[in-house]
Structure 1
Amino acid sequence: MVVDCVVIGGGIVGSAIAYGLAGCLDDVLLLDGSDGDPRAAQANFGLVWYQSKGVGMPAYQRLSRESVQEWRSFHKEIEDMSGVPVEFVGRGGLAYCLGDEEFEARQAILSRLASQMADTGIEMLSRGAVERLHPGIRLGPEVTGAAFSTLDAHVNPLRLLLALQRAFAHRGGTIRRSESVQAIETGRGQFRIRLKTGDVDAARVVIACGEASRVLAEPLGMTLPFTLQRGQIIVTERMAPFLAYPSDRIRQTACGTVMIGATKEDVGFDPGTTAAAAAGLTARAIRVFPDLAQVSLVRQWSGRRVITPDIAPLYERSAAFPGAYACVCHSGVTLAAYHARTLAQRIAGRGSWHEMEKFSARRFDVQAA
């Protein structure tokens, strides 16, 4: 089998890139793993989030803003093509502050972001202003205010993944599931992807398979520095709609459940859940919305995220083997629009790769020096 491009990794990041490439190239193959493979999407909170991204890295701040703005048309595009509603709601988002110390710390973050961008569209709200956004909802006494961005939004990440893959297929792309890449060989300006089900030759290969990316990328001359971070999430029973705005820790889904999350734990490959995490997550949620104490919890789960040293994404293009690319990113939902549009076009050879160089792993060499 010979194709224009193989994308390795069928999660949100890989599927978004593959969807975009299918609009630029004739033959694109997306290789997805088995249902039992670790997926960062399992720990995804479903936020299309900009307000806290890029402190100390203006390029990441601009990238995040560009993507959340693109989401306003992007979600309609993939819904129309796939027939899958992704439950995008884009009224804005909040980051609640408990106590004066948290309020001041959040204010300091916004000041740093404002020093990097003339008009961030993010503001600090007093407790009274937050209450006006939530008429009839009781806030906990410790809530001193919140950061608010009109650009922030949320979406159903599972529906998003389904929509991306169906839209990819609609564009003529091919998905092969339960595949495991044995090796990537090079020669004669092409790549040979060794699979148990048969080899595939391609002019381009994109590695976007999360924690498995490093072992495939390094033989192609691409270094991917990242660590693993466990995120635990809990979800409540269904309730009547009451939360009009998502926050970075609490959001109500379209079906009425409330998601509460997420932990950030450096525990290596441990996929488990803990009672301590559930207690900590629920305690903070109740401090924000005391009435949640009367609600039943129905599920707790965890997933592993890939985290780069500065949290920003990694976009690599191999100098030794032209046509090989890698993408490592923990903000797959937020950046899905950017990956499907700008990044996919650059991989396809449309436009300059220059802007992507800011997200190469070489930036860490500069920081170390």
Structure 2
Amino acid sequence: MAGYDIIVIGGGLVGGAIAWGAARLGARVALVDEGDVAFRAARGNFGLVWVQSKGADMPAYAHWSRRSAELWPGLQAGMLAATGVDVALQQTGGLAFCLSDAEMEERAALIARMHNASGDIGTRMLDRAELRAMLPAVGDAVAGASFCPIDGHANPLKLLRSLHAALLRAGGDYLPNRTVERIDHQPGMFTLHAGAERLTAAKVVVAAGLGSARLAPMVGLDMPVTPLRGQIVVTERVRPFLDCATHIARQTDEGSVLLGDSHEDAGFDTSTGVPVARGIAARNLAVFPLLKDANVVRVWAALRVMTPDGCPIYQHSESHPGAFAATCHSGVTLAGAHALALAPAIVAGQLPESFDAFHPHRFQLQPA
């Protein structure tokens, strides 16, 4: 008999949400985590619950992101009830700023395309006057913005901590400092080799971020993920001025401001660089001139987990029934759906037909 019903490989936001979501349903769950040596995207996550531009070229991803935003209050309540940790969810809408008429036209075209392909979620364009009425702190360089009423943000570090704690409260096991080297399969059972340790389960979920590419083929899965570096600049605590999410800045519940939205193909290098940080600061100062006197207290970099098209991968192995793949670069946005929709499907042993859009065979179908 297998030691667990489900072993989830990967202790980040994706794996943590799935593990807790399964354990809360009564499954015997182990979350196997490489530990602090892992490239932990959650440590550098911007914290957005962002819907307005997700899935522009994949309606299924747009609908999945919207569903997750709807489920997020339930996730927040679950974390608070299980652990007493408030993950600081705010769903007061989100703004994507435009600094020129050309950017306004480009953004409006994107919003219209998503509306036509995926339905209306209330996203609309705001001119400078409308934007300033909503957010007086914006500067004269801003031409306008798109606004989505269901966007928001949360504290990713508190979320990660609470997911691990809630898993334990639900009777699951958190097994850190274990690198899975091999996965063997026989009918009805998977055996994970981590050093001298052997762990067995009826089902296994590969949610190991950038480590998934190595593990997936062992159980008939395909997870072609690569790193994309992002840097974040953090200011000292300042007076509250930003009560909604934005794509380049968010003010935390403690008062500091996170500035970001950089994209660098730098392999597995997590170092920071002044030129990128300078560019982040310059764009944010154009949007929020009041930050000119704020001191920068930290700069960090982390690696996004990217698929070839930037959309999630979910897969149930045909050759190794009971093995599942789960990866995305939107660990915060999709945490609600991963915990409260995907996890129940994995417990039941079958992904819905609607998940076929997320199968990695789509990469083989794309034109060269």
What range is the shorter-chain TM-score in? over 0.9
Tell me what 2:341 maps to.
Answer: 342
Aligned-pair CA distance for 1:350: 6.3
1-structure distance, mates of 2:267, 2:188: 37
Q: In the TM superposition, what are the counterparts of 1:72-151 in structure 2 within 5 Å?
A: 72-135=73-136, 137=137, 139-151=138-150
2-structure distance, mates of 1:196, 1:12: 24
The one-character-per-residue Cα deviations of 1:121-146 (angstroms, maximum 9, x if unpaired) are 101011111111124x2x32220111
2-structure distance, mates of 1:80, 1:29: 21
Tell me what 1:194 maps to.
Answer: 193
- Mark the CA change 1:351 to 1:327 in structure 2 (over 3 Å): closer, same or farther: closer
2-structure distance, mates of 1:225, 1:213: 8
2-structure distance, mates of 1:236, 1:118: 37
Kept in 2: contact 1:345–1:351 (CA 8 A): no
RMSD value over aligned CA atoms?
1.4
Kept in 2: contact 1:50–1:65 (CA 8 A): yes
Tell me what 2:300 maps to.
Answer: 301
Whichever residue aligns with residue 33 of structure 1, its letter is E
1-structure distance, mates of 2:149, 2:236: 28
- Mark the CA change 1:351 to 1:217 in structure 2 (over 3 Å): closer, same or farther: closer
2-structure distance, mates of 1:219, 1:140: 53
Structure 1 stretches of at least 4 aligned residues deviating more than 4 Å after TM superposition: none
Tell me what 1:160 maps to.
Answer: 159
- Mark the CA change 1:176 to 1:102 in structure 2 (over 3 Å): closer, same or farther: same
Tell me what 1:271 maps to.
Answer: 270
Tell me what 2:33 maps to.
Answer: 32
Tell me what 1:285 maps to.
Answer: 284
SS at match of 1:143: coil
Whichever residue aligns with residue 50 of structure 1, its letter is V
2-structure distance, mates of 1:288, 1:231: 20
2-structure distance, mates of 1:190, 1:241: 53
Whichever residue aligns with residue 244 of structure 2, its letter is Y
Aligned-pair CA distance for 1:77: 1.8
SS at match of 1:121: coil
The one-character-per-residue Cα deviations of 1:306-335 (angstroms, maximum 9, x if unpaired) are 111221100011100001111111001000
2-structure distance, mates of 1:169, 1:121: 39
2-structure distance, mates of 1:24, 1:184: 25
Kept in 2: contact 1:42–1:302 (CA 8 A): no
Tell me what 1:218 maps to.
Answer: 217
For this pair of structures, how many residues does the alignment match? 367
User: How much identity, in percent, do the aligned residues show?
Assistant: 42
Whichever residue aligns with residue 323 of structure 2, its letter is A
SS at match of 1:205: strand
2-structure distance, mates of 1:252, 1:259: 6
1-structure distance, mates of 2:45, 2:179: 23
The one-character-per-residue Cα deviations of 1:193-216 (angstroms, maximum 9, x if unpaired) are 112252111100001010001111
1-structure distance, mates of 2:187, 2:43: 39
Q: Does 1:235 align with 2:270?
A: no
2-structure distance, mates of 1:352, 1:134: 42
2-structure distance, mates of 1:341, 1:311: 22
SS at match of 1:243: coil
SS at match of 1:125: strand
Kept in 2: contact 1:113–1:120 (CA 8 A): no
Report the TM-score when normalising by structure 1: 0.96
The one-character-per-residue Cα deviations of 1:103-125 (angstroms, maximum 9, x if unpaired) are 11110100100111332210101
Aligned-pair CA distance for 1:263: 1.0
Q: Which moved more, 1:158-167 or 1:19-28?
A: 19-28
Tell me what 1:19 maps to.
Answer: 20
2-structure distance, mates of 1:226, 1:352: 21
2-structure distance, mates of 1:355, 1:243: 37
Whichever residue aligns with residue 360 of structure 1, its letter is H
Tell me what 2:43 maps to.
Answer: 42
Aligned-pair CA distance for 1:244: 1.2
Aligned-pair CA distance for 1:226: 2.3
Q: Which moved more, 1:348-357 or 1:242-251?
A: 348-357
Kept in 1: contact 2:74–2:336 (CA 8 A): no
Tell me what 1:322 maps to.
Answer: 321
2-structure distance, mates of 1:350, 1:92: 35
Aligned-pair CA distance for 1:233: 0.4
2-structure distance, mates of 1:292, 1:196: 50
SS at match of 1:368: coil
Flag structure 1 segments of 5+ consecutive residues without an equivalent.
none
Q: In the TM superposition, what are the counterparts of 1:37-76 in structure 2 within 5 Å?
A: 37-76=38-77
Report the TM-score when normalising by structure 2: 0.97
Kept in 1: contact 2:75–2:340 (CA 8 A): no
2-structure distance, mates of 1:325, 1:228: 21
Kept in 2: contact 1:25–1:348 (CA 8 A): no
Aligned-pair CA distance for 1:353: 2.7
Aligned-pair CA distance for 1:352: 5.0
1-structure distance, mates of 2:142, 2:183: 53
